[in-house]
Structure 1
Amino acid sequence: MSLVAPVTIQKITGSSLIEVPDLLAVEEPLEIRLGFGPVDDRQQRSVAVTMRTPGHDEELAMGFLFTEGIIHKSTDVISCRHCVQDSAKEGNVMRVELNPDVVVDWSRLTRNTFTSSSCGLCGKTTIDAVMALTPGPIDADFLLEPAVLHALPDRVRETQRAFAYTGGIHAAALFDADGKLLLIREDIGRHNALDKLIGAAFWQNWLPLSQFGIFLSGRIGVELVQKSWMAGVPLLAAVGAPSSLAVQMAQEAGITMAGFVRNERFNLYNKPERVSLQQPLSV
């Protein structure tokens, strides 16, 4: 499947109209199914449906299952592939076969409902649920210069193939303390882009990501902090603003959070000691 889809649009400039070709970011549903249980009693269950931009679907499934606490290591997974038996859904259903020894705690998946802003959970409940899955606050020896953060928006934008065509797709990028970009994933959904990134790192046995930062092309919601915490990321930066609950969770996680990273500026919301500042902080 392609990341972009061609359309014809009516383009208005002042009172003039012209018909021109354009490209849109593709949005398609992806159903994630689990195959689980002992060898003599295998079962199948659908665990999630997410709207995503096709591509790196295996990584998306792995990242989702890892950050939800369903899988913990690569040996938990026997295979991950698209289902092809239903031609109407070909390419939009991903089946993940778990090792027979993996015991699935289905109650953990109910926590995923907190990603909705109208779910009714309070901030403390949300954070407590995530803390139950993590080893505790992140204590990583990670330090970078402000110039590294200043350079990230342009460097990431240069690599965003789909964004260059559509202007409507998010990116998540993994970088080291010197600003080297190691992985970049794109998707119409911010959480999907991050799941793909974490899923790729999961496959390569890079987790926990204690010596790397993650850069996001949009705002920082609490679900993005949760996923980063699960992956052991010490620094999370973004072009946009964080929410109040995102900052609260980052504080509990020991994650350095930088928002509004653009135009040679950024705001630090907690753990500023991971950014090497030449002058003391003032209020």
Structure 2
Amino acid sequence: MGRITHSRPITRIRLGQSVSRRPDALAVEEPLEIRVSGTPLAVTMRTPGHDVELAIGFLLSEGLIRHGDDVVSAIHCGGPGTGGEQNTYNVLDVATAPHVPAPSPSAERNFYTTSSCGVCGKASIDAVRTVSHFGVADPELRIPPELIASLPETLREHQAVFEKTGGLHAAGLFDAATGELLVLREDVGRHNAVDKVLGWAAAHGRLPLRGTVLQVSGRASFELVQKAVMAGVPVLSAVSAPSSLAVELAQETGLTLLGFVRGITLNVYAHPQRVLPPRLEDAAG
């Protein structure tokens, strides 16, 4: 596995006080090429680590596989120009089971991702609805808002690499009944962190993700809602704002979407019935 942090010398300025040179830890960002049975499919800018989970989660969230059993193997291989002699850990080849249809030959042009915006130039709401295998689970799920409000702090407490660099997003999967953290993954890209979580869930046979909350450290984009829906997650909670299209997709697919979950406040943008207990609903009425 490649390094996840890298030390670089920096100039630190304290206004009116001092100028000093010191080492600083940076979050590593490197490309990962995902291949399916030898055919290049996607290139994503990511933080090295949990690459197999990232690839499985990506294939799941794009509707190319349904379960972890759809993947036979995932192997790092030599990168471009290495002749296969040197493992760069930046190329991962995923072999799928015989019953899994091969990606469309036109798919590769749709899958270039960056750490900032995720997959560029693809997907409509209708396309997401068409390929979703699970739909949103747990229509009767009810979660105390106090539990939701506690999740960002728990997420932050477990961000080991963020503690060193201050430069990574995180996604955490929580048990909706107890608030227990099931898995947390960090990455320079929000979408990659989520894919790593979903890949972990697929590899451990936990799909669809009933009875869970997916907490993310940044904003809630259309793409993150899409990924949650594809894995059957009933509740997506974000520290920052959702986009208008994210809210629209959450409303249409049955996902409970929360944003600005900070301290004692939280905004529910879609399907509040899972979050608001009867006493609050009665008071609002």
TM > 0.5: yes
Please name the residue that 2:49 is paired with: 55
List gaps (5 residues or longer) in structure 2: none
SS in 1 for 2:143: coil
| Conserved 8 A contact 1:59-1:198 | yes
Q: How far apart are 1:111 and its partner, in Å?
A: 5.8
Which of 17, 23, 26 matches 2:19? 17
Structure 1 residues 64-73 or 184-193, which shifts more?
Answer: 64-73
The residue identity in structure 2 corresponding to 1:174 is L
1:175 aligns with 2:156: no
The residue identity in structure 2 corresponding to 1:18 is S
Q: How far apart are 1:75 and its partner, in Å?
A: 2.7
> 1:227-238 to 2 correspondence within 5 Å?
227-238=227-238
Please name the residue that 1:41 is paired with: none
The residue identity in structure 2 corresponding to 1:20 is R
Please name the residue that 1:156 is paired with: 155
Cα distance between partner residues in 1 of 2:221 and 2:235: 15
Q: How far apart are 1:73 and its partner, in Å?
A: 2.2
Q: Cα RMSD over matched residues? A: 2.2
* Residues 209, 131 of structure 1: alpha-carbon distance in 2 compared, 3 angstrom cutoff: same
Please name the residue that 2:266 is paired with: 266
> 1:193-204 to 2 correspondence within 5 Å?
193-204=193-204
Structure 1 residues 128-137 or 22-31, which shifts more?
Answer: 128-137
> 1:47-196 to 2 correspondence within 5 Å?
47-84=41-78, 86=84, 90-106=88-104, 112=111, 119=121, 126-135=124-133, 137-140=135-138, 141-177=140-176, 178-196=178-196
Which of 30, 36, 53 matches 2:32? 30
TM-score normalized by the length of structure 2? 0.88
1:101-133 deviation per Cα after TM superposition (whole angstroms, max 9, x unaligned) = 3222415666657977974x7xxx710000001
* Residues 209, 117 of structure 1: alpha-carbon distance in 2 compared, 3 angstrom cutoff: closer
1:205 aligns with 2:199: no
Cα distance between partner residues in 1 of 2:118 and 2:153: 31
TM-score normalized by the length of structure 1? 0.89
| Conserved 8 A contact 1:254-1:271 | yes
| Conserved 8 A contact 2:34-2:93 | yes
Structure 1 residues 82-91 or 226-235, which shifts more?
Answer: 82-91
1:27-59 deviation per Cα after TM superposition (whole angstroms, max 9, x unaligned) = 010000111xxxxxxxx2100000000000000
The alignment-based identity, stated in percent, is 45
Cα distance between partner residues in 1 of 2:229 and 2:235: 10
The aligned length equals: 271
SS in 2 for 1:65: helix
* Residues 118, 174 of structure 1: alpha-carbon distance in 2 compared, 3 angstrom cutoff: closer
